[in-house]
Amino acid sequence: MLQPHRPPARSVFGSLVLIAIVIGASAAAFAYTAGWLSPQRLTPDKMVDALTPPTVDPLGHRRNHAKGICFTGIFEANGAGSALSQAQVFTRGQYPALGRFNVATPDPKAADATVRVRGLGLLISTPDGQEWRTAMIDAPVFPASTPQAFYDLLLASASKDPDAMKTYAGAHPEIAAFGAWAKSAPWTGSYAEDRFNSLNSFIFVDNSGAEHAVRWSLLPAAQPVPVPPDELAKRGPDFLEQEITQRVGSGPQHWTMVVTIANPGDPTADPTKVWPEDRHIVEVGTLTVERIEAERDGPCRDINFDPTVLPTGIRTSDDPFPAARSSAYAKSYDRRTAEAQDYPRTTTGAKP
């Protein structure tokens, strides 16, 4: 008669030890990822928590740039970018574009004239199945030089200590360039008149494999008309989306995409530092916004304009921001999509 096979006692013990090691290692990995082993470490959760002031109800919305409106259109490449990057998006031709105009506030109900920074999220798709996602702002520099400094700035601006911002600025004098822009740059009455800048640096890889450190911007075709913010306030809390809906309704709006190439030694890891004016600039194409669509029902609502989603031919540089942004945007995306019942889609929504 066959006897049931009994493994030797030592091998059972060995298996149990192995299982314990695997479970222990997984638990340690979870604990590390959650930041429990290093409470000082900056996690996406902490970053996203710090973005939302206690007075704001963000449920269902982006945790920054919460107020915005979708658009669709075309990116027409003129072919000049192909000398810098092998990405198909720079080959002469037309590619579908999807985007979102927005104001840089965590409050989806903020009045437009109270928000200094405006943004533009953009996704361009190419027939090779690749995508270029980017999120740009109208400021020419970022207020913080590292993700940790940005987090500290968020904490300082939310602090009850009346000296917190002064203390922050003392420790981070690099905020001055952004401060000067915020104080003196003219406001416009339209997204169509604004310039949008990547600020972060990326690497273009050309067909020979050579690399070029770059930043990019969208320059408006419309002439900017300065309007003081108290004048803008009279136009109503949502004047920006009303104006762009009307404007695009009467004709497509255009921006020229320009790529600025760094000289060797230009700072690529710090978006508080502008590059000198004489850097080589290449016009690579035109973004045409053809149609405005309400965000609530629109195609940009469930898009994460993650700046690390890049086609072959564009990659991240030593700039630490895109990776930090990617993880924070993913956290924001997870939260807002899990809260969809707090921001329900509506088929009767005010579609422009």
Residues lying near ligand HEM in the complex (CB under 6 A): 47-48, 51, 62-65, 68, 100, 102, 119-121, 135-137, 142, 147, 150, 198-200, 271, 304-305, 321, 324-325, 328-329, 332-333, 336
Which residue lies nearer to ligand HEM by CB, 136 or 214?
A: 136
Which residue lies nearer to ligand HEM by CB, 311 or 322?
A: 322
Per the CB < 8 A criterion, the answer to whether 73 and 289 are in contact is yes
Find where tokens 């609502």 sit: 301
Which residue lies nearer to ligand HEM by CB, 317 or 332?
A: 332
Q: How far is the CB of 163 from ligand HEM (least distance, A)?
A: 24
Q: Which residues contact 8 (CB under 8 A, 6 or more apart)?
A: none
Per the CB < 8 A criterion, the answer to whether 331 and 324 are in contact is no
Q: 195 to each of 136, 137, 155, 222, 311, how far by Cα in Å?
A: 9, 8, 29, 10, 23
Q: Which residues contact 160 (CB under 8 A, 6 or more apart)?
A: none
Structure tokens that stand for 348 in this block: 């009767």
Helix, strand, coil tally for the chain in percent (to 5): 35, 25, 45
Q: How far is the CB of 125 from ligand HEM (least distance, A)?
A: 16
Q: How far is the CB of 53 from ligand HEM (least distance, A)?
A: 14
Which residue lies nearer to ligand HEM by CB, 86 or 133?
A: 133
Find where tokens 């003196």 sit: 184
Which residue lies nearer to ligand HEM by CB, 113 or 139?
A: 139
- If DSSP states are collapsed to H, E and C, what string results for 143-155? CCCCHHHHHHHHH
d(Cα 276, Cα 198) in Å, to the nearest integer? 16
Q: How far is the CB of 341 from ligand HEM (least distance, A)?
A: 17
Which residue lies nearer to ligand HEM by CB, 82 or 102?
A: 102
Q: How far is the CB of 89 from ligand HEM (least distance, A)?
A: 19
Per the CB < 8 A criterion, the answer to whether 315 and 205 are in contact is yes
Q: How far is the CB of 68 from ligand HEM (least distance, A)?
A: 5
Closest residue by beta carbon to ligand HEM:
119
